[in-house]
Amino acid sequence: MIEDDFFIGLASPGTTKNTMGSLVTRANVEKISQLNILSFSMSCINYAPDGLNPPHTHPRTTNMFFVLDGILNIGFVTITKGDAFMFPHGLVHFQKNHGDAPAIVIIAFNSQHPHLEKAIKVPEFQEYFMRRKGC
């Protein structure tokens, strides 16, 4: 084993005090060079209460979510601690913390570098959720 086999920090919670109320920590080929050509990577997302990971798509990769803690709305479905959910490649998706406490998920991708494309303008999506919350 060599240093390039490790990434320390995937499970370390970071600050969610930002516009979206979420933080994505990636463990991909940029952090673990040994992932090159292995078609695998992971991410961890921390969500503040009402935190949002805005609509996006991964055009070249499927991803599998596992909820470590919290309650998330992922479109028409609500998932909670211990639940898993799969997004096929190219499907537009988002996550919103539906609970009053922080939430955290681990995501596995079948790509060493899961490209991300934003689906819509983020301020418009935030405005929509703010209206729904009655803010």
> Residues at the annotated binding site?
53, 56, 58, 93
The CA-atom distances, in angstroms, between 106 and each of 66, 98, 134 are: 5, 17, 30
- Cβ-based neighbours of 18, under 8 Å, separated by 6 or more: none
CATH code of the domain occupying 3-133: 2.60.120.10
Q: Is residue 116 predicted with pLDDT exceeding 70?
A: no
Residue ranges per structural domain of the chain: 3-133
- Cβ atoms of 95 and 72 within 8 Å: the answer is yes
Q: What is the mean pLDDT of the chain?
A: 78
> In this predicted structure, what is the pLDDT of residue 119?
66
> Residues at the annotated binding site for oxalate?
53, 58
> Residues at the annotated binding site for Mn(2+)?
56, 58, 93
CA-wise closest residue to 73 among 7, 33, 128: 128
The predicted model scores a pTM of 0.78
> In this predicted structure, what is the pLDDT of residue 81?
96
User: How confident is residue 50, by pLDDT bands cut at 50, 70 and 90?
Assistant: very high
> In this predicted structure, what is the pLDDT of residue 55?
86
